[in-house]
Homo-oligomer: A and B are copies of this chain.
Amino acid sequence: MERKTLLTDCPDAQGLIAKITNICYKHQLNIIHNNEYVDHSTGQFFMRTELEGIFNDETFLMDIDQALPAGSHRSLVDSKRRKRIVILVTKESHCLGDILMKAYDGSLDVEISAVVGNHETLAALTTKFDIPFHFVSHEGMEREEHENKVIEIVDAYTPDYVVLAKFMRVLTPSFVAHYHRQIINIHHSFLPAFIGARPYHQAYHRGVKIIGATAHFVTNDLDEGPIIEQNIRHVDHTFSAEDMVKAGRDVEKTVLSTALSQVLEDKVFVYGNKTVIL
């Protein structure tokens, strides 16, 4: 028995659920999980259908295509294929460490193809888990030159996603465009509060009582991409900026790995500057 997931993202129309589920029924595909959502403000329809059975992808998708209105996107994803990621890091280990541990014990069903760092700090940790670490220093290099070196390494692994696990470099539009909707970042604040550098220090000076973290797809505008997951924890006046940095680590790593898990399970639709998670 194969298991595949049909992802549909199209203009809303009457009878869409009936049409799609009819086709599944006709092809003798059993629906294991099904979720739909209609954004009535824009008239967009989203559907995620986990199917089990014997698939003839070509005829099945031909039927689906005939049923969908113009301007539709659909894909049929093999639910059992393990996806590949490359992780970009700088010096901080907590997010990388959490993903390494979760891939190691199977909590996260993913293949970590490689880790790329602009510092060498995390090489030792990465190689403990028998994963290749590539050190690409940015010292004395133009931003584009450095990114091109990174791209060359990353592309050799043909990853499904690139995960920025506390990669403290601003990316150029051409790097972002090269991995369209493939880059997931963890920002160490509750966006859109404290955009930009040193958000915990900003938070400390503002005297907030809550700190947070945001995992999002990366687009050209810094810290402005579609949000996948956010969470927070309470702090109080006894927290220095450094205490906030430390306290934020557990939130950051949990938010990033939760977001990553949803993306890897094909639950996240990107829609304008938002996500629909089914």
A227 at the interface (CB under 8 A from B): yes
For A18, the chain B residues whose CB sits under 8 A away are 18, 21-22, 24-25
Binding site for B on A (CB under 8 A): 14-15, 17-18, 21-22, 24-25, 30-41, 92-94, 97-98, 101, 104-105, 107, 125, 128-129, 190-194, 205-210, 212, 226-232, 236-238, 240, 246, 249-250, 254, 257-258, 272-277
Contact among B15, B24, B208 for A230, CB-based, below 8 A: B208
Top 6 closest pairs, chain A to chain B, by CB: A207-B274, A18-B21, A193-B193, A97-B101, A15-B25, A128-B128
Chain B residue nearest to A203 (CB atoms) is B192
Chain B: minimal CB distance from A105 (Å) = 4
Most chain B beta-carbon neighbours within 10 Å: one of A18, A212, A227? A18
Apart from A192-B208, A250-B258: 16 A-B pairs, beta carbons within 8 A: A17-B21, A17-B31, A41-B240, A93-B104, A97-B101, A101-B101, A107-B249, A192-B193, A192-B194, A193-B193, A207-B274, A207-B275, A210-B232, A236-B277, A237-B274, A250-B254
